[in-house]
Amino acid sequence: MSLDVSTPSRKTGRARGYITDYRPQAKTRELLEQAQAVLDEYRQYWPLTCRQIFYRLVGAHGYDKTEAAYGRLCHHLANARRGKLIPFYAIRDDGVTTYARDHFEDRDAFLRRVREMGKNYTRDKLAGQDRHIEVWCEAAGMLPQLDDVAEPYSVRAYSSGGFDSLTAKKNLTNRICRIGKPTVILHLGDFDPSGQSIFDSVAEDVEAFVMADRPHGYVNVTFERVALTSRQVQQYDLPTAPPKATDSRSKGWTGGTCQLEALPPNIIADILREEIECRLDMVQYGVDQAREDNDRDEIQTLLLPPPR
């Protein structure tokens, strides 16, 4: 069956914009139905990455575990979103970065924003804790899922795609020293020689910066690899691949490699939640939750518009 594409590219013939009459072939429809089943299963973790859907199809439906098959899946998922069979917001594949600006249309718009902030007031749950915690992940596409898990604890999640940059490491150092507490960095990434090597070198580098810049001896930093580990690969029977022969770091590597996205989203969420909670004073956390409710009520009273 042919596709009635609204605006094809003159250079490639690929779809541009929406596909107004999307009619995939039977084999593609079957694949998309399986992908939709994965999306339905993990709806509470939307947006998923294409790689996460791929690994669930490999495990649950016997989909080919090859890069060519992954490329075909990405192509069909893109067309299904253009054809409005799958919501755009169900899948994340963006790489756009921008800077937020608090500019307002006028004074009233500003006041509306402030009142809305009052309704959604959230207390920093880490302020009363003895340590500072951050979450870092290699895959930027997984950041929304991880942030949903970490947000109730006021733990920030960061994408570490550029984590090995000197600027990123110094910015992290400055933040740790400014906060002035022992800090734990919970890291999630692929199980492979390059990922492990980068993690180790960054941990050593940031620790050296912190030890040199810290305002007092109570400040330190610990890096914890919470996923993906060799134990988790075995425990969840995840698909593996041989390390790349071209990677010089593979010489001392034993066993296969595995991508973080092979681990189901719900399991990743459970692992991260447990790792955060075991490092918090949960009694203090409960106290802060109660204070948050009281603060919110008082703030909303203060921000009520004056009677006319």
Tell me the angle at which helices 107-119 and 282-302 cross, rounded to the nearest 10 degrees: 140
Measured in degrees and rounded to the nearest 5, phi and psi for residue 41 equal: -60, -35
Amino acid at 170: K
pLDDT tens, N- to C-terminus, the chain (308 residues): 344 445 555 555 577 888 999 999 999 999 999 999 999 999 999 999 999 999 999 999 999 999 999 999 999 999 999 999 999 999 988 766 677 888 999 999 999 999 999 999 999 999 999 999 999 998 888 999 999 999 999 999 998 765 567 888 899 999 999 999 999 999 999 999 988 888 888 899 999 999 999 999 999 999 999 999 999 999 999 999 998 877 777 777 878 999 999 999 999 999 999 999 999 999 999 999 999 999 999 998 988 877 77
Query: Is residue 29 within a helix (H) or strand (E), and if so which, with residue range?
Result: helix 26-41
Half-sphere exposure of 169 (CA within 13 A, CB side): 17
pTM value? 0.84
Q: What pLDDT, on the 0 to 100 scale, is given for residue 95?
A: 66
Q: What pLDDT, on the 0 to 100 scale, is given for residue 231?
A: 95
- The C-alpha atoms of residue 129 and residue 155 are separated, in whole angstroms, by 11
Structure tokens at 15: 């779809």
Q: Yes or no: is domain 130-280 CATH 3.40.1360.10?
A: yes
> Where along the chain do its domains lie?
7-90, 130-280
Q: Radius of gyration over alpha carbons of the chain, in Å?
A: 23
